[in-house]
Structure 1
Amino acid sequence: MKRTKFYLSFLAMFALLFTSCSKDDNSSLASDSDLATLSFGAIVEDLASKSTAKQSDVGDMPVCTDDVAAYVEIVLMEGTNAVVGTTADPYRVDLVAGQVFTQEDAALELEPGTYSLDHFSVYNAEGDLLWLAPKGGVLAEFVDNPLPLTINLGAGVKKYVDVSVICYDDRNVNQYGYQFFELDINEAFEFCFFANYCSPDGRHYPARYSVDISIDGTSLYSGVMNNVGRDENGDLFADPLCFALPNLSEYGDNEEYIDYTVTLLDWTGEADAYGDVDPIVISGSLSRAEVMANFDGADNVEYEHLRFGCE
């Protein structure tokens, strides 16, 4: 009888232990299920059927190849923040062998929210660009949903997003809505701005601002604004802005050819910092040497720190 009670007690303890472990495991699974999983597929548009009324604006239609697609490069944004890849360094996702949709990738397991796809290019195994999703230019008229493409992700969903792409050939990339250096990363480098604002009473704030960048009057970026707000501690914050800039060999190392204008903006609303302000503009030009001086090693880039109204 004592032995029977011993076994029953042992079984009860074992069951309790098993139940406890199961609850822990389920808790972990529940946490994982809060994430959304994102995958992409490429849909090659048939330009011939859409070209009758628009071909005169494009000239000869892009020429397609028979090469097999192997991987895609993407830039995924959340607001003004790049969360997967950057303009200067898009993120590579391999395609399922023999298919035109992406493999599962841990970088595409994301928190629920609203994102935008700002870059999507498709390459063969040798790294040759085959297809490109237009995000402006005359070729954007040939697809129903040009970039940027808004993507809403809910908790626990597995979302497939089809992206319309156009065959790429050696032409002016502006017809696809890209700057040339966005597709040739070896010819681009990164430069970042961070700014503070000093009010007339001498108080310092993180600044809300916009940036315009051009080369010889040709606009590269226009009216790009930084993200601002209050963090979970109630403290004000303002994110830096980083840009991919062309490294043009025809200019000398110390020859300034990249022109920028940074404009202080009002900061009002729920996260009101300093309210309405008189616009203050800081402008300047950059040479290759000045951009490279902000590099700290091979990967880190120091911010160019600007100060509005400060001594």
Structure 2
Amino acid sequence: MKNLKIYYACIAIVAMLFTSCTQEESTPRAGEDGDVASISLGAVLSDLDRQGLLKQAIPECSEDAPAYARIVLTHDLGAVDVVIPINFDGTTFFTDYDDELEIPIPAGETTTSVSLTDFWVYAEEPGETTMPIWVAPKEGSDYENFVNDALPLNFELRAGSKKYVDVEVLCFDDRDVNLYGYQFFDLIPVPLIKFCLFGNFCPSEDGRHYVAGYSVTVWEGDAPEGDPIYTDVTNDVSMDEGTGDYYSDPLCFFLPDTEGTDTYYFEISIASTDEYEADNAGEVILEGSITDDEIKLFYNEETGAMDYYHFSYGCGDDNPPPFTDPNDTVERYKACLKEIGDSDAFGFSYLSLIGNEFTAQTWVPFMEPNATTPQHIHENASCDDAGGVVWPLDLEGGGYPVSDGSGSLFYSRTWTLTAAQIATLGNLENRTINLHEDAEGLPVISCGEYDSY
């Protein structure tokens, strides 16, 4: 377990003695169709004093009184995700009566199995920016040892009963949200964007391709700093019993998508599977930052369908930007292409220089269909005054790339440069790229300024 930064306070067990908060009603005979049983839950602050942790630096817990609980549970006939007011009788807190917590009993049975998976307590009704004040930690989390019973809580519920369940909670600090066993977006209400990856593995460049096993760690920002929002999330590579083939679904991540540009830093590590052994299992093979704007290029604007980032390790292929091999000594540059005028030519341009191998890639998914698009690297660092052409980004056989029938343009070309040509390119961090509507170079439909990454 990592060294913990403990941010709970006001830690004491509150003896929760519950009184019925249900209306007077007749109790159905157990086992009949339509039988139900009701649940009430209480938030018990964990007693860390018995753990000897009160001697550590612990800030004060929120002075706000609990007013609402969000409860997520499953039972034999379905699931419940509900926000319920919390009552206080002067001594104890307990959830109010709510018909959402009247759990149906399967026909012909007298009990049903219930699993409480999530429990958060709020000082006000949860909204778009409301933070919980108490949270019940989950099994497998860094904080599971600070309660007697971490979630999930599993129990049997009998028809006609009114069951009361204590739930141990810890004071919540959003700086350490992952240590409770939740992803930050489970508790912090922000818009999300989905990003998926899929990988291949080759034991040698001329060897066969395997479905890759890999793990991913993700941070917010453009560097691996602070607490990750995902840690060592691993894809599942399984064998199809019918065909004998190994397969894996893409590994997907939900990332915070706030106003403005959001950046996320990824580390992808190779892993062994039942099909192959990787000599360097656990080694980071790709890393780098990606923005929400780049992720949005993986979505089809009309259908909303999402493509995934496909990488290959050991297969002799240059992986697509923006992620790179940390062992490469490569100069890499990226420009966000911004539309000019009525154009829809939004996208990204990537440059890399490995020795004298110069590669340029342009990705513009939403523009005019079947359009020839001249593009050039220009001498100045600002789109306000791009200056003259330094390098044409043309096709090897001549001419310029053409968008496909859906208006998507993907261009990639590699040159082997002379020393004079490298000098002509100069410092690529001081260059811009222009996309044009016609071969004459006018008008400019998109421009981007290169930065190293």
Would the TM-score normalized by the shorter structure come out above 0.5? yes
Whole-angstrom distance in 2 between the partners of 1:292 and 1:210: 23
Counterpart contact for 1:182–1:244, Cα < 8 Å: no
Partner of 2:81: 92
Find the structure with the greater CA-based Rg: 2
Residue 179 of structure 1, CA deviation? 5.4
Residue 44 of structure 1, CA deviation? 1.1
**Counterpart amino acid of 1:276?**
E
**Counterpart amino acid of 1:209?**
Y
Structure 1 residue 190 corresponds to structure 2 residue 194: yes
Structure 1 residue 266 corresponds to structure 2 residue 267: no
1:242 is aligned, of 239, 244, 252, to 252
Whole-angstrom distance in 2 between the partners of 1:150 and 1:228: 30
Call closer, same or farther: CA 1:40–1:204 in 2, change over 3 Å: farther
Question: What SS does structure 1 have at the residue aligned with 2:190?
Answer: helix
Q: Which has the higher helix share?
A: 1
Which consecutive residues of structure 2, in runs of 5 or more, have no partner in the other structure?
1-37, 86-94, 105-114, 157-162, 318-453
Partner of 1:277: 278
Q: Deviations over 1:9-52 (max 9, x none)?
A: xxxxxxxxxxxxxxxxxxxxxxxxxxxxxx987441234x5447
Output aligned runs, 1:199-210, within 5 Å.
199-200=203-204, 201-210=206-215
Instruction: Indicate the structure whose relative CO is greater, using CA pairs within 8 Å and at least 6 residues apart.
Output: 1
Output aligned runs, 1:1-311, within 5 Å.
42-47=41-46, 49-51=47-49, 53-55=52-54, 56-63=56-63, 65-69=65-69, 71-73=70-72, 92-93=81-82, 98-99=96-97, 103=101, 119-122=118-121, 126-127=126-127, 128=130, 129=132, 131-135=134-138, 136=141, 140-147=144-151, 149=152, 164-166=167-169, 172-174=175-177, 176=180, 178=182, 180-200=184-204, 201-215=206-220, 216=223, 217-218=225-226, 219-234=228-243, 235-247=245-257, 253=261, 257-268=263-274, 273=275, 275-279=276-280, 281-296=285-300, 301-310=306-315, 311=317
Which consecutive residues of structure 1, in runs of 5 or more, have no partner in the other structure?
1-38, 77-83, 86-90, 107-115, 154-159
Whole-angstrom distance in 2 between the partners of 1:258 and 1:301: 18
Percent identity at matched positions?
27
Alignment size in residue pairs: 234
Whole-angstrom distance in 1 between the partners of 2:120 and 2:174: 15
Whole-angstrom distance in 1 between the partners of 2:153 and 2:240: 25
Whole-angstrom distance in 2 between the partners of 1:161 and 1:303: 46
Residue 211 of structure 1, CA deviation? 1.1
Call closer, same or farther: CA 1:299–1:73 in 2, change over 3 Å: farther
Residue 161 of structure 1, CA deviation? 11
Counterpart contact for 2:192–2:254, Cα < 8 Å: yes
Question: What SS does structure 2 have at the residue aligned with 1:172?
Answer: helix
Residue 119 of structure 1, CA deviation? 4.8
Question: What SS does structure 2 have at the residue aligned with 1:65?
Answer: coil
Counterpart contact for 1:190–1:243, Cα < 8 Å: yes
TM-score by length of 2: 0.41
TM-score by length of 1: 0.57
Q: Deviations over 1:251-299 (max 9, x none)?
A: x63x7x422121221223xxxx2x2123361222111211222344697
Compute the RMSD of aligned alpha carbons: 4.5
Counterpart contact for 1:44–1:167, Cα < 8 Å: no
Counterpart contact for 1:258–1:286, Cα < 8 Å: yes
